[in-house]
């Protein structure tokens, strides 16, 4: 793999990785109606390249921030 191809790969992967981590941290700090709903959002957020987007469009407002965090 050439350096240029590697640089493009890293430039594309890092933002998606950081957005996925951000979504997972947000899911972890919120309380949802049930543990199953929280697990479902975890699984959705882990879908490569667009799971975080689905979470931030649909699931972001569903949970309530935990008061103990």
Residue 49 zone, left/alpha/beta (φ > 0; ψ -120 to 50; rest): left
Q: What integer pLDDT is reported at residue 61 of this predicted model? A: 87
Q: What integer pLDDT is reported at residue 66 of this predicted model? A: 78
pTM: 0.82
Could you read off the pLDDT of 3-45 as tens digits, one per residue? 999 999 999 999 999 999 999 999 999 998 888 999 999 999 9
Q: Is the pLDDT at 58 greater than 90, yes or no?
A: yes
DSSP 30: E
What does the alpha-carbon distance between residue 53 and residue 55 come to, in Å, rounded to a whole number? 5
What confidence tier does 64 reach under pLDDT thresholds 50, 70, 90?
confident
What does the alpha-carbon distance between residue 20 and residue 2 come to, in Å, rounded to a whole number? 27
């Amino acid at each position: 793999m050439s350096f240029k191809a590697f640089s493009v790969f890293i430039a594309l992967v890092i933002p998606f990785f950081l957005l996925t981590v951000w979504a997972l941290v947000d899911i972890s700090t919120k309380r949802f109606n049930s543990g199953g709903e929280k697990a479902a959002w975890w699984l959705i957020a882990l879908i490569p390249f667009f799971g975080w987007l689905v979470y931030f469009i649909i699931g972001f407002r569903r949970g309530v921030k935990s008061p103990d965090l």
